[in-house]
Structure 1
Amino acid sequence: MANTELERAEKRYAQAKARLQALKNREATRQRKLETRRKVILGGALLDLAERDSGVAAMVDRLIRNLAREQDRKAFAEWSAPSATPPPPDPETGS
């Protein structure tokens, strides 16, 4: 009987270990998806700002030119830094 009880305990241990690993995997996947979403949102906001601000456009252009991987640079082949006009003056400060 002790042998059967030991086998049952080992089986429960293995199942618990598998459940724990599955939970860890789900959390890692959730974190990767969240990180990707943040990058997409921030990248979109940066490109939108680059369309309105020539200084930001120049910075984005520099970032693209300094990308290490050729395939990453190719993704921006058709993008060019727009000739943005300076931001309108702040009505409160007049500048």
Structure 2
Amino acid sequence: MAETELERAEKRYAQAKARLQGLKNREATRQRKLDTRRKVILGGALLDLAERDSSAAAMLDRLVRNLAREQDRKAFADWSVPSAPPAPDIDGTS
């Protein structure tokens, strides 16, 4: 039995719809990977800054202590905030 024009059009439509969904899925994956990369880079920059700046170290400590999700807090159970060297004494009294 020969395919009708309507059946061929429906088949092409289904194939195009599947291609479109595949493109959407690949773009969503690309965006998630980019988002994860940005978070890793910013996290590393924050850790680096915390090693050099005591106020950044305090902020990082506060962020970790205030994590809302239990599973997130567990990830930091055995971790300590990098300690920054003490700030120089500006007025010379110590």
Bin the TM-score by the shorter chain: 0.7 to 0.9
Structure 2 unmatched ranges of 5 or more: 89-94
- Asked whether 1:8 is paired with 2:8, we answer yes
Please give the TM-score of this superposition, normalised by the length of structure 1.
0.81
What's the CA shift for 1:38? 0.5
What's the CA shift for 1:83? 3.4
Please give the TM-score of this superposition, normalised by the length of structure 2.
0.82
Residues of 2 paired with 1:30 and 1:58: CA distance? Answer: 34
Contact 2:64 2:76 in 1 (8 A): yes
What's the CA shift for 1:79? 2.4
Structure 1 unmatched ranges of 5 or more: 89-95
1:57-72 maps to which residues of 2 (within 5 A)? 57-72=57-72
**How many equivalent pairs are there?**
86
SS of the residue corresponding to residue 16 of structure 1 reads helix
Residues of 2 paired with 1:76 and 1:52: CA distance? Answer: 21
Runs of 4+ in structure 1 displaced over 3 angstroms?
none
Superposed CA RMSD in Å reads 1.7
Contact 2:57 2:82 in 1 (8 A): yes
Residues of 2 paired with 1:78 and 1:51: CA distance? Answer: 18
Contact 2:47 2:82 in 1 (8 A): no
* Identity rate, percent: 87
